[in-house]
Chain A
Amino acid sequence: MTEHTTTESRDESTGGGTAVPTDSVDAALSAVETEGLSGYNYAYLDEHTKREVRRSMLKAVAIPGHQVPYASRPMPLARGWGTGGIQASLSLLGPEDTLKVIDQGADESVNAANIRRLAANTAEVSTTADTTEADLIQSRHRIPEEVLTDDQRLVLQVPITDALRKVDPSDAANRRRHAHENYGKMWVHLYENVVEYGEINIASRYPTMVAGRYLMDPSPIPRWDVPKLDDADHLTILAAGREARIYAVPPHTAVEPLAFEDRAFTVERFAEQECHACGSTDTYLVEVSEEPGSAAGGAGGEGNGGADDDADGFETRYACNDSSFCAKRRGDPDLLKDHHLDRSGVDWGPATPDADGNGGGEA
C-alpha cells in the first residue's frame, strides 16, 4: 500500500510529462503521437555525441580499414540492432538528405522501417526505397545491386569489427597484429580451409585488405558484394555500436579479398537459377520457401522448373535479395545495374561487364 502511494505521487510530480489515457493501447498511442519529440535535439543525438562520432569518422577515413574507437551511446534500441549505423547516419544526415535503409536486402523489414522512421521523425529527412534517389544508404548485410555514385555514402552496420576474431578471440593480441600488419594467422586459417574444403569456404565477413595495409572485416555482406568496395565511387563507413568502433573505405581505394594465387577468391554461384519474380540471373539470389501462389508480385507458382516441393506444400525457389532492384526489374527485365549513370559497362562486382575475373570461377 505504501508503495502504491509512492508511485502515485511520483507520477504526479513528473515535470513536463503529459497525462496519457490508459483505457486502451490505441488511445495511449494516439495521445503521444503529437508530443514525444519535444526536447530532443535535431537528429536525436546530442551535439556532444555527434562531435565524438564525427571525430572518429574523420580519423577512420584518414586511416582506411583501421578500427577507430568511439564512445558508442545507448540508443532507443538494443545494441546489435544497428546502433552503430544509426549513430553514424544521424551524425551525417541533414534536412535536405534522402535516406534509404536496407536490412538484408529488404527495405520493409521491421528493423529497417524503424530506423528510417527514427531518422525521418528526428532529422526531418526524406526517405526512399530507391537506391538511385538516396544520398545516404544505411545497410545491414548488403550493398545494393545498383551502382553507387560519388554523391552517395554507404553506412554498413557491423556486428563484429575484427576479421582476426575468428582466428584469435583476444582483442589485445589482434590489435598488435594490426599494428604490425601481421596477418599470418589468417593466411593459415585460409590454407586450412583449402585443405578441408578444396576452396576458401567463408560465406560472409570475408577477410579483405584495404589500401594494402589493414585487414578488414567488411561486415556480414556476402562475398558477392565484396568486389563492389574496390575502387568504388562512393564512401563506405562501417560502424559498430556494440563494439564501439568505426572504420571506413574511402572512394577509389584498393579493396582486395585475401586469396591464394592458385585458389582465387570466388563469389557465390547460382548455377542455372534465376529470380522467380523478375528473372534476373546477374543478381545475388537467396532461397525462399513459400506456399505456391503466395509470392509477392504475383509471379505465380508456375514456370519455375528448378523448384523443389516440400512434403508440407512449401516450395523452395530463388529470389533476388535486393528487393527494390527486383521490383524495378519486374517492370523492365533488361534494366542494367548502371542504368542511372551516364556511362555504361561499370565494374560493380560479379556479373557486370567489367568484373575482371571475379565472376564465377573462370579466372
Chain B
Amino acid sequence: MRALGIDPVHETRRTFDGLLSAMSRPGTVQAVPAPADHAVVATFVDHEVTIATDDDSLRDALSGQGRLEAAAAENADIVHVRDHSRVDVRACKRGSLVEPSEGATVVYRVASVAAGSGEGTTVTLSGPGVDGTATLSVSLPESALAALAQAQSDYPRGVDAIFAAENRVAAVPRSVTMEVA
C-alpha cells in the first residue's frame, strides 16, 4: 500500500511472515516493516472485512484503494486500537461456536513490546505455540490486558490480539492462556 509508504507486495509479505511467526509462537517478538500497525493493516485488510480505526491516514489510504469497509469496534473484523481507553475489547466480536474464526483481530498500536519482562505490564503465556511458558511485556496498563484476557476467556470464541510497536509485532491468540502478573 504505497499511500502508507509500504510496498504492497514484498513488505506485506514480510509483515505476514512476521505475523505468522508471532501468532504461532506467542511470546516472541518479530520484525516487520515500520510503522508496524500500518504494515499489519495493509497486509490483511481490504473490502472483504470490516475495520474500526480512528487513524485518518489509514482510513484515507484504505479508502483511496477501495479497501475501506468501516464499522464500529463492536462489529468490526479488524479493530485498530491506538488508545486502549477508547475501545472496550470485551465488546468486540468473538465469533460463534460453529465459526469462531469470525472473532475480531485486535491490532494494538503500542509504544513498546518485548519478550521477557520489561516496560509496561508483563504477562505470562502458556498453551499452543508456547514451549512451557513465555513472558511478554507490553506498554499497556494491567486493566487493558485484563480486559483482553476476559475477551479471550470463552475459547474457542474470542478475539486475537496483535501488539504493534515501531517495527515489531507480537501476538496473543485466543488459544493461549494469558496471566496478567
Whether A20 sits at the interface, judged by CB under 8 Å, is no
Query: Are B46 and A62 in contact, with the CB atoms below 8 A?
Result: no
Query: Are B155 and A41 in contact, with the CB atoms below 8 A?
Result: no
Whether B14 sits at the interface, judged by CB under 8 Å, is yes
Query: Are A41 and B9 in contact, with the CB atoms below 8 A?
Result: yes
Query: Are B46 and A61 in contact, with the CB atoms below 8 A?
Result: no
A56 surroundings in chain B (CB, below 8 A): 101
Known: A176-B98, A180-B97, A253-B129. A61 touches B23 (CB 8 A): yes
Query: Are B98 and A179 in contact, with the CB atoms below 8 A?
Result: yes
A-contact bits for B99-112, CB 8 A (1 contact / 0 none): 11100010000000
**In the assembly, what is the distance between CA of A66 and CA of B156, in Å?**
9
* Nearest Cβ on chain B to A1's Cβ, whole angstroms: 46
Query: Are A235 and B20 in contact, with the CB atoms below 8 A?
Result: yes
Whether B54 sits at the interface, judged by CB under 8 Å, is no
Known: A54-B43, A64-B175. A252 touches B128 (CB 8 A): yes
Whether A222 sits at the interface, judged by CB under 8 Å, is no
* Nearest Cβ on chain B to A67's Cβ, whole angstroms: 9
Whether B39 sits at the interface, judged by CB under 8 Å, is no
Query: Are B20 and A58 in contact, with the CB atoms below 8 A?
Result: yes
**In the assembly, what is the distance between CA of A43 and CA of B8, in Å?**
13
Query: Are B130 and A252 in contact, with the CB atoms below 8 A?
Result: yes
Whether B19 sits at the interface, judged by CB under 8 Å, is yes
B12 surroundings in chain A (CB, below 8 A): 47, 50-51
* Nearest Cβ on chain A to B157's Cβ, whole angstroms: 10
Whether B160 sits at the interface, judged by CB under 8 Å, is yes
B129 surroundings in chain A (CB, below 8 A): 61, 250-253
Using a CB-CB cutoff of 8 Å, which residues 22-68 of chain A contact chain B?
41-43, 47-48, 50-52, 54-64, 66, 68
Whether A175 sits at the interface, judged by CB under 8 Å, is yes
Q: Which of A51, A92, A248 contacts B17 (CB 8 A)?
A: A92
Dominant secondary structure at the B interface: loop
B130 to chain A: closest residue by CB: A252
B16 to chain A: closest residue by CB: A54
**In the assembly, what is the distance between CA of A42 and CA of B7, in Å?**
12
**In the assembly, what is the distance between CA of A214 and CA of B156, in Å?**
10
* Nearest Cβ on chain B to A306's Cβ, whole angstroms: 42
Using a CB-CB cutoff of 8 Å, which residues 177-200 of chain A contact chain B?
178-180
Q: Which of A68, A69, A253 contacts B128 (CB 8 A)?
A: A253
B14 to chain A: closest residue by CB: A94
Give the size range of A's interface with the partner: 35 or more
Whether A139 sits at the interface, judged by CB under 8 Å, is no
Whether B121 sits at the interface, judged by CB under 8 Å, is no
Known: A94-B13, A94-B17, A180-B97. A62 touches B175 (CB 8 A): yes
Whether B33 sits at the interface, judged by CB under 8 Å, is no
- Residue from B13, B24, B25, B100 having most chain A Cβ neighbours under 10 A: B24
Whether A211 sits at the interface, judged by CB under 8 Å, is yes
Known: A51-B43, A51-B46. A91 touches B16 (CB 8 A): yes
Query: Are B173 and A62 in contact, with the CB atoms below 8 A?
Result: yes
A176 to chain B: closest residue by CB: B98
Whether A213 sits at the interface, judged by CB under 8 Å, is yes
Whether B48 sits at the interface, judged by CB under 8 Å, is yes
Q: Which of B24, B44, B98 contacts A61 (CB 8 A)?
A: B24
A-contact bits for B163-181, CB 8 A (1 contact / 0 none): 0000000000111000000
* Nearest Cβ on chain B to A316's Cβ, whole angstroms: 42
Known: A42-B10, A47-B9. A68 touches B46 (CB 8 A): no
Known: A63-B174, A250-B25, A250-B129. A92 touches B9 (CB 8 A): no
Query: Are A211 and B130 in contact, with the CB atoms below 8 A?
Result: no
**In the assembly, what is the distance between CA of A61 and CA of B25, in Å?**
10
B56 surroundings in chain A (CB, below 8 A): none
**In the assembly, what is the distance between CA of A43 and CA of B98, in Å?**
33
8 closest residue pairs by CB, A with B = A62-B173, A179-B97, A250-B129, A59-B101, A253-B128, A250-B24, A62-B160, A179-B98
**Can you show 30 pairs from A to B with CB atoms below 8 A apart?**
A42-B9, A42-B10, A43-B13, A47-B8, A50-B16, A51-B12, A51-B48, A55-B44, A55-B49, A56-B101, A58-B20, A58-B105, A59-B105, A61-B23, A62-B160, A63-B156, A64-B128, A92-B16, A150-B25, A153-B20, A175-B98, A175-B99, A179-B97, A180-B97, A211-B175, A235-B20, A250-B23, A250-B128, A252-B128, A253-B129
Chain B: residues with CB nearer than 8 A to chain A?
8-10, 12-14, 16-17, 19-20, 23-25, 43-46, 48-49, 96-101, 105, 127-131, 155-156, 160, 173-175
Known: A63-B175, A250-B25. 5 other contacts (CB 8 A): A47-B8, A47-B12, A58-B23, A94-B14, A250-B23
